[in-house]
Every structure is written in structure tokens, then in C-alpha cells.
Amino acid sequence: MGQKRKIIIGLIGESGSGKDTVANYLKDKYGVKLMRFADPIKEVLHIFFDQISREDQQWLALEMRKRFGADIFPRAIKRRIENEEGVVVINGLRFWEDYDFIKNVEHGFTIYITADQKLRWERSAKRGEKSDDDVSFEEFKETEERYETEKHIPEIGAKADFTIRNEKDLDYLLSETDRIMGEITQKSMQ
């Protein structure tokens, strides 16, 4: 039996940039299979806690990388997608190993979603997704500078195939997503 055809799209972006909005839109409109590099981390933490913090996720991710190798999360995703076909979107690239994994797939593409830091902080505070989302702007900036899981996102994003500067309205974000999906579809047919 031949290998199933698939397109892998990796989403890169800082906290509050709009990654989840893009990911959910792609799932709803295009029927993509949606995964996160952080899924294994969240699954483990949710066994013990109802609400998890960004700090706990970052700590566990770094400990697992130290113990099992820097490519532990790409290896986990690879296992999860090996029998998938169609379009798979993997949200939350944070390390170079994640980026390399996507770029080494035959039809692998990366999209960087970013925005001004203060705007991202405001969005994060409003959503309240994690127990530590409601922090001061200074604490938000410090988190992005201090944590290994956040430090490399702009550098990795600079290498992305596509970039969306998400500083306008939702219609703009979604229309840019549609435009990029059109380009990805074209490129993957070549």
C-alpha cells in the first residue's frame, strides 16, 4: 500500500498572536486535522490539575527535552500523524527541532502569526485560557524574555513560509489565512 498524501502546516506565534484563532478557523472551514506540539504536555498536566499554567507547561516541556532529547515533541507528533492523510495543522512550534520537523516533510509549510507585544498581552489577559494569563504587561514581557519555550519564536517565525501580522480585525486575519491556504494548495500540487 502506498504512502498516504498529506500536507503538514506548522503554526508559529507568540502568546496572544492569534494562532488558536487561525487553527480553529482552519479546522472549521477546511476540515484539517488539528494537533499541538504541546498536546502531550497538556494531557499529562490535566491528569493532575483542572487548570494549568503556562509556567507549568514550559517547565515540563524543558524537563522532557532534557531527559528524552530535544526532538521529543516532533517524534511524538510524527507518531500521531503517520496514518493521517489530507491537511494536518500542528499548532505551537516553539523550538528549532519543531520547525525542522515540519520543513523536512515533503509538503510541510510554516505560518508565523504575530502582532505587537502590547496587543498580544491585552488579548491574552482577556481570554483567560491559562491560570497565569492575567498578569501585568511587565510580567508578560519578562515571560517572553525569560522562558526558553518563548525566546526563539520570533527567530523561527522569521524563517516561516508565510507571515500574518495580526494587528487588524478578525476579517483580515481570516482572509489572510484563506489567501495562504490557496498558496499552500497550489504549491503542494507542484
pLDDT of residue 180: 98
pLDDT of residue 146: 84
Buried-state track 120-155, b at ≥16 Cβ within 10 A, e below 16:
bbebbeeeeebebbeeeeeebeebbeebebbebbee
Pairing of β 33-36 and β 162-165: unpaired
* Domains along the sequence of the chain with CATH: 28-185 (3.40.50.300)
Give the three-state DSSP class for 122. Answer: helix
CA distances from 101 to 23, 32, 71, 75, 165 (A): 19, 19, 9, 9, 24
Write out the chain's pLDDT in tens, 190 residues: 344 579 999 999 999 999 999 999 999 999 999 999 889 899 999 999 998 888 898 899 999 999 999 999 999 999 999 889 999 999 999 999 999 999 999 899 999 999 999 999 999 888 766 656 678 899 889 888 888 888 899 999 999 999 999 999 999 999 999 999 999 999 998 7
Answering whether pTM is above 0.75, one says yes
Name the DSSP class of 97: H
pLDDT of residue 132: 60
pLDDT of residue 170: 97
- Count each helix (H run) and each strand (E run) in the chain, helices first: 10, 5
Residues in the chain: 190
Alpha-carbon distance of 20 to 146, in angstroms, equals: 23
DSSP symbols for 48-110: H-SS--HHHHHHHHHHHHHHH-TTHHHHHHHHHHTT--EEEEEEEE-SHHHHHHHHTSTTEEE
User: What are the beta bridge partners of residue 86?
Assistant: 6
Name the DSSP class of 136: -
